Amino acid sequence: MRFLKRFFVSFVLLSTLLSFSAAQEQAGDTAEIIVTGVVYDAVSGQPLAFADISCPTFSSAFSDIDGVFSIPVRSLNDFIIISSSGYHTQEVVLAGRSEVAVYMQEGVRPSFQQEVNFGDFAQKKAYTPRAVTSVNMPFVGDLAGKDSPESVLGSSVPGLKVNPRSGIPGVGADLFIRGRSSLNTSNAPLIIVDGMIYDINAYGNSMIEGYTVNSFAGIEVDDIESFTVLKDAAAIYGAKAANGVILINTIRARQQATTIDFKMYGGVNLMPETYPLLDGPQYKTHLLDMLSSAGPDYSELSHLIRASNVEGHPQYYVYNNNTDWQKEVFDQSNTSAYRLGIKGGDDVALYALSVGFMQNEGVVNESKYSRFNLRFNSDIKFSEVLTLNSNIAFAYHDKHIGGTGAQSVDDVVTQARIKAPFLYPNIRNEEGYVSSVLADYDSLGVSNPVAILDNQQLRDVNYRFFGSFNFNFQLNDYFQFSNLVGLSFDKDRESIFIPSYGVRPQETPRGEITNQMKARVARHMALNNDFRMQYTRRFGYEHGLNVLGGVRINLNDNEEDWGQDYTSANDMIRTLGNGLAILRQKGGYLGQWNSLTTYLSGDYDYLKRYFLHVSMSVDGSSRFGKEADGLAMMNSVFGFFPSVSAGWLLTSEPFMQNVAALDLLKLRVGYGVTGNDDIGNFSALKYYTSQNLWSYQGIVQGNLYNPSLKWETNTKINAGLDMALFNERLSLTADVYQNTTTDMLDYIPASRLSGFDDVLVNDGEILTQGVDLGVNVQVLNQPLKWDLGLNMSSYTTEVKSINGDRKVTELFGAYVLTEVGSPLGVFYGYETNGVFATQAAADAADLYALLPNTSLAPFEAGDVHFVNTNPETDNVIDEQDRVVIGNPNPDFFGSVTSRMRWKGISLDALVSFSVGGDVYNYQRRQLESMNALGNQTTATLNRWRYDGQVTDVPRAVYGDENGNSRFSDRWIEDGSFVRLKNVTLGYLLPYKPLGIQSIEVFAAANNLLTFTDYKGLDPEFSAGGYSLVQGMDLGMVPQTRTLMLGVKIGL
């Protein structure tokens, strides 16, 4: 509190001194100076009548019918403000001119004259020295059919990479701003919605394999008014802003007149792409080859498969089908959405209400995603000095998940890919009669995906309430106080049942698992309070000052309870408590974490030419260790996070006024420090937990805590250029940056005496460097309006230091190398040189495989020729021969947007692309390894079969003793792609029936075309948001092509 008192006194003294100085300057400047000009529409070039022109606190005027105006100013170094309905309000710095021509930009189009919300205050983009992208939704919102904010963000922001998690409706995507800067913690940006933290990591881990709970989907895209992405140091958010900040502003009423908007669309999700698998006869040939090398244990099965080929055999109709199991699981489906929005009010209160419902059945049979959302925002004016802004939102999600693609015996997507195609979904008797009863798991040990779909339940229901009240008190023309109080409450409930029928039983040390019953309930509640005081003033035309100080408190409470039961009496009994006690598992946790932030932000400009932004915050968190390196206060540890940015608007200089084509040229530099506090609630605290041993409960230490643990520190350096030409028909933003993460959170081996494997410490450094480029072009203006946008980014990462200088991590059968001097997340495996075509070639190579029992086996004809990287040491292919075989980080990525308008017809398109970036095709590895009895892709038809055959596909050997399928460059592919993400065609009907202001019909398509050499189903996927799983395609449900028809009605 002492700090706040000193801060307030400093405010008052500074404002008094500056006010006295400004008064003296204005008193001595009494000569009247007249500025004349013309206001034009930038698109049509026609004069704009009745525009409002003002010289703040000095004079005002209007343009006449020809757009001409004249206005007194204090100096030819003054500035004037021009506003007109439907256009961006524009500020013109005179810079010595007495005559000006002003070209007004349509309010829907992106412009450097648009206001940008930074979380501390709003500022025109032309004047900010910070690296920021701001987008108004009316410009990008015409790309219809987007069901979550991530899909919109990825189309408009240079440096923001969006990795879809899968094609399951509602699961969302992982977001990365300017690459990844953390090894073991979250790389997700901080989300702020209407001034309050929106936690997108609140639900914890799902019990449904391959599924992610996406709380971000609770925000209806059409409820977003604008969003701003802060890419350089956002110091006022301190220890939460290392990965950048995304500020979202939702809808508000801007006028008193009541307006009603209704939007609906319906469409179809097309059958997704599937893997080219072997058909019945092809697979039978492959299977018999596999069984011939499987040993005597499978001789009976091999005999049965051969004998059943003869018509009349009792099993003929069982083993002579040709089922496409992928088509049994996937199918086209329906999707629809409805939204009603109402805005209006009076001179006391304005309100914006929206209600929406969306349903998407998904392309996996028996799946469905339903969402209901409600939002009510209001602005109440109690008096001339006291106002209240409220933001209330509720979202309900209900998801029935058919399958995800997770590699398990009960996942229908995975089982459909390996199921023998010569089998049939239903039971068939000796005469070929097809029973209505579905078949059980088969003699090859593969589950029946159709039977699973018929009996399973994978359901997730979640709710989110998100609301805030922001009280604003205007003390005088310069001082303002505000206090935001908010509550976020989330509840997630999962219920899971996996039947015994149709599913291969699983053996465990405690007994056999047949059916499975699981339940999970998670709750998260956050209380937020953000008190601010702000001083904003312009001293004449020369000095502009905005200072903001505040205190932010964030209180979080988390709870989760879960239970797992196995092997109930039959599949009719599906609830917890009815399984075998020896197999039963249950657990949960309680978590609380709190944070306290004191922040200060200041912006200054001189003559609207030179701009300075300074901010800092002091952050404390219950997550930080008591012995951490930082500021010790109030028996806690606080981190200090400063930042500074400077800008020079060259086009406000007098010497630049003769450059007619140049509208804006600005140089920016910035430096700042932010943090990442994603270290877990109790990693720095010792705690105890219960443990069962021989039917007795006891208390044991739950973790190996580190009292010195603190936040990751991210230092950001940015240099940028903003430029606009030809009345902003061409605008460009370019940035180069360097982000350095120090005090990196990493796990290091713990002492064996501790009883734990590892401990979390601050140790390591990662360097990220890159370039962002954004270009907008108004290609045509009349009569056809055509806007093109290009966003493109490139970055590199390098590990500068890490404990032990080198670490190899095994994930999903792959090895990821973290080594000083190498990029982050590179693949580390075996290099190959084709397949031995002859035994003579294999003998000449004289290479040996190291078997699990440590014996050696020579490579033979038909085996993969692995490169021996240390021939001077040995001729054994082992882990010493692994090298870097791929880098998941793309060379560059981005998007192209096109927006056309002509006589009520609109055509919008979005194309995304990525060049470079290797992908580990885990699913193809499972479907081309030829080491087990599951189905394989048609690529295996070219497998090696005889001496002298030249091929790049090795022989089929059950068990793969020589390791032909080991992690190697065989499974690493180029993930480059170009994808037509969305195209929307709309038509605004020329007639308006009674009471209707507008009717627009539209047709849209998502993910219509993809151009890539990647052999998997979707090159955009990664296995999660953490750095070490980037570029891993685990075979999730692919993104679907969707066709839609809809209508928008305005009343």
Summarised one tens digit per residue, pLDDT across range 282-315 is 999 999 988 888 888 888 888 888 988 998 899 9
With respect to residue 770, please indicate whether it lies within any of the assigned structural domains.
no
pLDDT the model gives residue 15: 46
> What mean pLDDT is reported for the chain?
91
226 Cβ neighbours under 8 A, 6+ residues apart = 117, 134, 135, 136, 137, 248, 249
Average pLDDT over residues 704-730: 95
Q: Are 615 and 601 in contact (CB under 8 A)?
A: yes
Determine, yes or no, domain membership for 272.
no
In this predicted structure, what is the pLDDT of residue 203? 58
Is it the case that residue 140 has pLDDT exceeding 70?
no
DSSP letter assigned to residue 734: E
Beta strands in 887-1023 (DSSP E): 892-902, 905-915, 918-921, 972-974, 977-988, 998-1012
Of 402, 437, 455, which closes a domain?
Answer: 455
Residue with tokens 């309006």: 785
Question: Contact, 643 vs 671, CB < 8 A?
Answer: yes
Tokens 């109709």 locate to 317
The conformation of residue 685, written as its DSSP 8-state character, comes to: S
Asked if the structure places residue 65 within a domain, the reply is: yes
Give domain status of residue 288, yes or no.
yes
In a domain, 714, yes or no: no
For strands 918-921 and 1032-1033, give the pairing. Answer: parallel
Q: What is the pLDDT of residue 31?
A: 59
Read off the pLDDT band of 696 (50, 70, 90): confident
Convert the pLDDT of each residue in 979-1035 to its tens digit.
Answer: 999 999 999 998 877 778 899 999 999 999 999 999 999 999 888 888 999 999 999
Residue 292 Cα distances to 116, 851, 930, 956, 958, angstroms: 69, 21, 13, 10, 8
For residue 101, pLDDT beyond 50: yes
pLDDT digits (tens, 9 = 90+) for 437-451: 999 999 999 999 999
Answer whether 668's CB lies under 8 Å from 721's CB: yes
| 3 state DSSP class of 983 | strand
Q: Write the pLDDT tens digit of every residue in 539-597.
A: 988 999 999 999 999 999 999 999 999 999 999 999 999 999 899 998 888 889 999 99
Assess if residue 746 is contained within a domain: no
Average pLDDT over residues 465-492: 95
pLDDT digits (tens, 9 = 90+) for 746-792: 999 888 888 888 999 999 999 999 999 999 999 998 889 999 999 99
Indicate whether 4 pLDDT > 60.
no
Name the pLDDT band for 724 (thresholds 50, 70, 90): very high
Query: Residue 144: what pLDDT?
Result: 52
Query: Is the pLDDT at 959 greater than 70, yes or no?
Result: yes
CA 197 to chain centre: 16
CB atoms within 10 A of CB 52: 16
Going by pLDDT thresholds of 50, 70 and 90, the confidence category of residue 1038 is very high
Integer Cα distance of 585 and 316 in angstroms = 44
Q: How many helices (H) and strands (E) does the chain have?
A: 10, 59
How many Cβ atoms sit within 10 Å of the Cβ of residue 684? Answer: 24
Q: Return the SS3 of 355.
A: strand
Q: Quickly state the pLDDT bin for 212 (edges 50, 70, 90).
A: confident
Predicted pLDDT at 142: 57
How confident is the model at residue 645, as a pLDDT? 96
What's the pLDDT band for 923 if we cut at 50, 70, 90? very high
Nearest to 1032 by CA among 407, 411, 409, 410: 407
How much of the chain exceeds pLDDT 70, in percent? 96
**Mean pLDDT computed over 892-897:** 94
What does the DSSP assignment read for 935-959? --BGGGGGB--STT---SB----TT
Residues 6+ apart with CB under 8 A from 888: 825, 826, 827, 917, 918, 919, 920, 975, 1022, 1030, 1031, 1032
Q: Please provide the distance, in angstroms rounded to a whole number, between the alpha carbons at the two ends of the chain.
A: 51
- Burial label for 703, CB within 10 Å (0-12, 13-18, 19+), is middle
**How many domains is the chain built from?**
3
Of 257-266, 711-720, 752-761, 860-869, which gets the smallest average pLDDT? 752-761
pLDDT at residue 941 above 90?
Answer: yes
Domain contains 11: yes
Q: Which residue has the higher pLDDT, 66 or 1025?
A: 66
Residue 342, pLDDT score: 96
Q: What DSSP string runs through 563-607?
A: EEEE--SSTT--STT-S-GGG-EEEEEEEEEEEEEEEEEEEEEET
Q: Tell me what pLDDT residue 19 has.
A: 44
Phi and psi, residue 963, nearest 5°: 75, 40
Instruction: Using the predicted structure, report yes or no on whether residue 30 has a pLDDT greater than 70.
Output: no
Q: Residue 7's pLDDT band (boundaries 50, 70, 90)?
A: very low
- Structure tokens, 612: 């300075």
Identify which of 458, 442, 167 has the alpha carbon closest to the alpha carbon of residue 325: 442
Q: What is the band of 689 on the pLDDT scale with cuts at 50, 70, 90?
A: confident
Examine the fold and report which residue of 424, 455, 486 is the final residue of a domain before the chain moves on: 455
**Is the pLDDT assigned to residue 18 strictly greater than 70?**
no
Burial pattern 952-985, b for ≥16 Cβ within 10 A else e, equals: ebbbbbbebebbbbbbbbbbbbebbbebbbbbbb
Q: Which has the minimum average pLDDT: 28-32, 292-296, 722-726, 991-995?
A: 28-32
* Cβ atoms of 803 and 744 closer than 8 Å: no
Q: Which pLDDT does position 29 carry in this prediction?
A: 46
Question: Can you tell me the distance from the alpha carbon of 612 to that of 543, in angstroms, rounded to the nearest whole number?
Answer: 11
Phi, psi of 578 (to 5 degrees): -115, 10
The b-or-e profile of 12-38 (16+ CB within 10 A means b, else e) is eeebeebeeebeebeeeeeeeeebebb
Structure tokens, 718: 């940015």
Among positive and negative, which fits the CA dihedral 1049, 332, 1020, 900?
Answer: negative
Angle at 616 between CA 613 and CA 617, to 5 degrees: 150
594-636: per-residue pLDDT in tens? 999 999 999 999 999 999 999 999 999 999 999 999 999 888 9
pLDDT of residue 751: 85
Output the pLDDT for position 141: 56
**Residue 308 falls within a domain, yes or no?**
yes
Q: Greater confidence, 531 or 32?
A: 531
Burial of 751 (0-12, 13-18, 19+ CB in 10 A): exposed
Of 455, 490, 521, which residue constitutes the final position of a domain?
Answer: 455
Neighbours of 1039 (CB within 10 A): 23
210's tokens? 């391959």
Neighbours of 155 (CB within 10 A): 23
Which of 429, 347, 405, 358 minimizes the C-alpha distance to 381? 347
Percentage of the residues of the chain whose pLDDT score is greater than 90: 76
Tell me: pLDDT of 940 over 70.
yes
Range of the structural domain that residue 448 is part of: 280-321+411-455
Does the pLDDT at position 2 exceed 60?
no
